[in-house]
Amino acid sequence: MQFVEANGARIPAIGLGTWELRGRTCTRIVEQALRLGYRHIDTAQVYENEREVGDGLRASGVRRDEVFVTTKVWTNHFAPNDLERSAKESLVRLRMPDVDLLLLHWPNPQVPLAETLGALARAKQMGLTRHIGVSNFTVALIEEATGACPAPLVCDQVEFHPYLDQAKVRQACAQKGMALVAYSPVARGRIKTDPVLARIGHDHHKSPAQICLRWLVQQNVSAIPRTSRIERLAENIAVFDFELSDAEMARISAL
C-alpha cells in the first residue's frame, strides 16, 4: 500500500468510502475490505453508519492501530461546544478512543470558521482525533482555514475524478502541505463506458475504474471509492502493480 503524507499524517492511498452503506451490508463490506488489505476507512456522522463501521473493523480481526479511520462532523455541530460533544458521540458509536482524522464535512457560513476550527484543533488536543482537516472547501476557504486554524490541517476531501478538474484545489493543498482526498473517484460509475479509459485499461489489463484510481494515486491523491460489492473491493485496491505513462496521464486529464 502506498501512502500520501501530509502535515504529519500518513494516509493510505486507497481507502473505502462508506456513504450510503447501511446496516449489516456496511459491517460486512468494512470487514471484507480490511481482510483484503484496505487500511483506510472513511465514514461521517451524517452517513448514520459509524456504529456499523466500528463493528466491521472489530469483526475483521485487524488491529485498530493498523487502520486509518476518518469521520466527519456535520454542519449543524459547528458551534464550538457542539463540535466537541458530537465528536465524542461519534467515538461512542464507533466504540473507539479516537479517530485518525476528523473533518469538517461541508463549509457552514452560519458559524464563524475561526470558532469552528478552534474547536476542531481542541478536539485534537484532547486526544479525540490524531489529525484534523476539512472537506468540500474551495481554494479561498482553504486559504482562510489554514490561516485561522491553531493546528495543521492535513487534507481537503473533495469530489475528484477525470470529469472534474480539481487542479486549483490540489495546488492550494500542496502549497499548505495538505493532501487531497478524492471521493466519488470513479464518478459514481460513469467512467465504466468511457472509451479512453477502456483503451488504456485494455493496454494494462485493467478496468476503467482501476485506470481512474491509478490516475489519482499517481497524482499523490488518496482515493476512497465506495462499493457494496465484494468483487469490486478487490478490484479497487489492485492498482499498485502498474504505472500510467505521462501520455496516458495527460489523455485522462483531458477528459
Asked if 38 is an active-site residue, the reply is: no
Helix intervals (H) in 129-166: 139-148
Helix intervals (H) in the chain: 23-36, 50-60, 80-94, 113-125, 139-148, 167-175, 195-204, 208-217, 230-237, 246-253
The alpha carbon of 97 is separated from its chain's Cα centroid by a whole number of angstroms, namely: 20
Q: Which of 38, 47, 163, 183 is catalytic?
A: 47
Query: Which residue type is seen at 3?
Result: F
d(CA 193, CA 197): 8
DSSP conformation class of 132: E
> The C-alpha cell of 197 is what?
479509459
Residue 222's alpha-carbon distances to 37, 111, 181, 219, in angstroms, are: 15, 29, 5, 9
Active-site annotation, residues: 47
